[in-house]
Amino acid sequence: MPITTISTIAELRERLDRVRADGGQVGAVPTMGYLHDGHASLMRAARADNDVVVATIFVNPLQFAEGEDLDDYPRSLDHDTELAEAAGVDFLFTPSVDEMYPFGPVLTTVTVSEVSAGWEGITRPTHFAGVATVVAKLFNITGPVHGYFGEKDFQQLAVIRRMVDDLSFPVTVVGCPIVREEDGLAMSSRNVYLTAEQREAAPVLRGALDAGLAAIDGGERDPNAVTAIMAALVESEALAELDYVAAVDAATLATPDRLSGEVRLLIAAQVGKPRLIDNDGVTIH
């Protein structure tokens, strides 16, 4: 079936309610567009698990602070439609800002405290409230779904999971593995901003994660020692300006005194214009 593009909340609700009334399960993939194979992997996962798949494309202004790249954020609806259709998406929801926020400035926001406070929350203090608010709105529009999110934005995934649990959304959140370029760089819509020289430097983030994982594999359990190893590697790359490195509990994103159980290594750095993030996980028995 060819992909159907929908721009209004009312039509999307009507279509998805009809699917569920007929006994179907819906998979949803929220995105901001400018899709790449990382997004396609989420859509393919949703396609494999569900009867109908909806992908949303909405560049959400609530996620951008003053001075961030809202106006310059890359957009390509024709490309996105082609990629989504090839990945098996049935409905592409492409609302306008006026459709999503018809009453002007948003007076109601969703904040997930603690989980959103550190790491990305320090650098971008309003970001996760914007994410949580728009995802809550999208889930209210779509109704009961399986929602698919990439692990590249690991803190975002943790925020959404906690929001869904705390507010009892009829949604199952599915985290999907990071999709990488051949040299290890995590796929991101912002990679388009990298110059050729910066693109060669960018995989230093993956290298730092590998160094941290190797230290843990070698028996290191002090999170400060692990992050020092990661930081030193990034700081050896002249084109990368380190923002943070962290070794945290994967569920709470808090830094433990000693690493154990499910651990996530987080990293962020400025490489030229784009600010890049990455992460990887390990289980310590």
Put simply, whether the predicted model's pTM sits higher than 0.85 gets the answer yes
CA angle 122, 227, 181 (to 5 degrees): 85
| Other CB atoms within 10 A of residue 85 CB | 18
**In this prediction, what percent of the chain has a pLDDT beyond 90?**
87
Give residue 189's pLDDT. Answer: 83
Tokens of 228: 């020092």
The predicted model gives 67-87 an average pLDDT of 85
Express each pLDDT in 143-196 by its tens digit: 999 999 999 999 999 999 999 999 999 999 999 999 999 999 999 988 989 999
Helices (H), 93-252: 97-100, 120-123, 127-142, 154-167, 196-201, 204-217, 223-235
* Confidence (pLDDT) at 61: 87
Q: Report all structural domains of the chain as residue ranges with CATH numbers, in order of start.
A: 4-176 (3.40.50.620), 189-284 (3.30.1300.10)
Residue 125: other Cβ atoms inside 10 A: 12
Distance (Å, whole) CA 192 – CA 74: 8
Instruction: Choose between 263 and 66: higher pLDDT.
Output: 263
pLDDT at 179: 92
Confidence of residue 67 (pLDDT cuts 50, 70, 90): low
**Radius of gyration, CA atoms only, the chain:** 19
Distance, in Å, from the CA atom of 153 to the CA atom of 155, rounded to the nearest integer, reads: 6
Nearest to 263 by CA among 253, 251, 250, 254: 250
Model confidence pLDDT, tens digit, residues 14-58: 999 999 999 999 999 999 888 989 999 999 999 999 999 999 999
In the chain, DSSP finds a helix count (H) and a strand count (E) of 10, 9
Which of 38-47, 56-65, 214-223 is predicted least confidently?
56-65
39 is catalytic: yes
- The answer to whether residues 216 and 263 touch, using CB atoms and an 8 Å cutoff, is yes
Give the span between the Cα atoms of 143 and 242, in whole angstroms: 40
Q: Which entry of 36, 39, 127, 146 is annotated as an active-site residue? A: 39
